[in-house]
C-alpha cells in the first residue's frame, strides 16, 4: 500500500496536475485526489473506463497478442492520462503546455 | 487555377511534413485519413491501412465525444495509445486525422 501512496504523492506534486482517480475496471472509484469531489471523480472514472475499454479493443483488433498500457487524451487545455492495468485504471488530469520549440 | 495552385502548394507542405515524420527513428507507419475514415495517404499496405483507418477514426470520434461531454466548449486535440508493441498517435483536425505508428518509447 505504501508504494501506492508514494506514487500518488509523486503524481500530486507534478506541475499542472489537477486531479487523479484510481478506479477498478467497473469504474468504481477507489482513490481520488482529495480536492476533487466524489462526483467529479466518478464522472472521470466512468468515462475513462468506457473509453479505455474501447481503446483496448482497438489495440487487440490490430493484434490479438498486444495489450493497451497507456492512453493519453489531450483536449484544448487539459489532458487525461490513463494507465491501464489488469485490475485498475490510474487516471490523472493535468494542464498541458506545448513543448518548447527546438 | 487558383484552387489547383493552392492545392499543389498545400500538397508539397503535406509531403514535407510526411517525409519529416517518416524519417523519425522508430516510426513504423504514417496515415492520413479523412474525418469519415477514408484513407487518403498511407505507407502501410492496403489491408492494414483500411484497418487502422476504420478503427482509429471510430476511436477518435468516441474520444472527442467524451471530451465534449465533459465540457461542451472543449475539443479533442490529440490522443495517444501506448501498448506493449507500439504507440499510436492520432492528431485529429476538422477534416482529417493524422495517424502515426511508432515503436514504444520505453
Distances (CA, A) of B71 to B7, B44, B104: 35, 36, 31
Express as a percent the part of chain B with pLDDT over 90.
Answer: 69
Q: C-alpha angle with apex A39: A49 to A83, nearest 5 degrees?
A: 30
Interface predicted TM-score (ipTM): 0.89
Beta-ladder partners of B83? A68
Task: Give B62's contacts in chain A (Cβ within 8 Å).
Answer: 51, 54
Q: Which carries the bigger pLDDT value, residue A96 or residue A38? A: A38
Chain length of chain A: 102
What is the average pLDDT value for chain B, to the nearest integer?
89
Contacts of A74 in chain B (CB under 8 A): 76-80
Judged by a CB distance cut-off of 8 A, whether residue A102 touches chain B is no
**CB atoms A67 and B84 under 8 Å:** yes
pLDDT per residue as tens digits for the range B38-83? 999 999 999 999 999 999 999 999 999 999 998 899 999 999 999 9
**Measured between alpha carbons, how far is A98 from A74 in angstroms, rounded to an integer?**
11
Beta bridge partners of A80: A73, A93
pLDDT mean over B90-105:
92
* Residue-averaged pLDDT of chain A: 92
Amino acid at each position: 500500500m505504501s508504494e501506492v501512496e508514494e506514487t500518488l504523492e509523486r503524481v500530486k506534486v507534478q506541475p499542472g496536475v489537477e486531479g487523479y482517480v484510481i478506479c477498478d475496471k467497473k469504474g468504481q472509484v477507489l482513490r481520488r485526489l482529495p480536492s476533487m469531489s466524489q462526483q467529479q471523480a466518478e464522472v472521470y472514472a466512468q468515462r475513462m473506463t468506457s473509453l479505455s475499454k474501447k481503446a483496448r479493443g482497438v489495440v487487440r483488433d490490430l493484434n490479438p497478442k498486444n495489450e493497451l498500457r497507456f492512453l493519453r487524451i489531450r483536449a484544448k487545455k487539459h489532458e487525461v492520462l490513463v494507465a491501464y492495468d489488469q485490475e485498475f485504471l490510474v487516471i490523472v488530469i493535468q494542464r498541458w503546455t506545448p513543448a518548447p520549440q527546438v | 487555377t487558383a484552387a489547383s495552385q493552392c492545392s499543389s502548394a498545400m500538397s508539397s507542405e503535406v509531403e514535407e511534413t510526411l517525409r519529416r515524420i517518416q524519417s523519425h527513428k522508430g516510426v513504423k507507419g504514417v496515415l492520413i485519413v479523412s474525418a469519415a475514415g477514408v484513407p487518403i495517404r498511407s505507407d502501410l499496405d492496403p489491408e492494414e491501412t483500411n484497418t487502422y483507418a476504420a478503427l482509429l477514426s471510430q476511436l477518435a470520434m468516441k474520444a472527442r465525444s467524451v471530451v465534449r461531454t465533459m465540457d461542451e466548449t472543449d475539443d479533442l486535440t490529440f490522443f495517444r495509445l501506448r501498448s506493449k508493441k507500439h504507440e499510436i498517435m492520432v492528431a485529429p483536425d476538422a477534416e482529417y486525422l493524422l495517424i502515426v505508428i511508432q515503436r514504444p518509447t520505453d
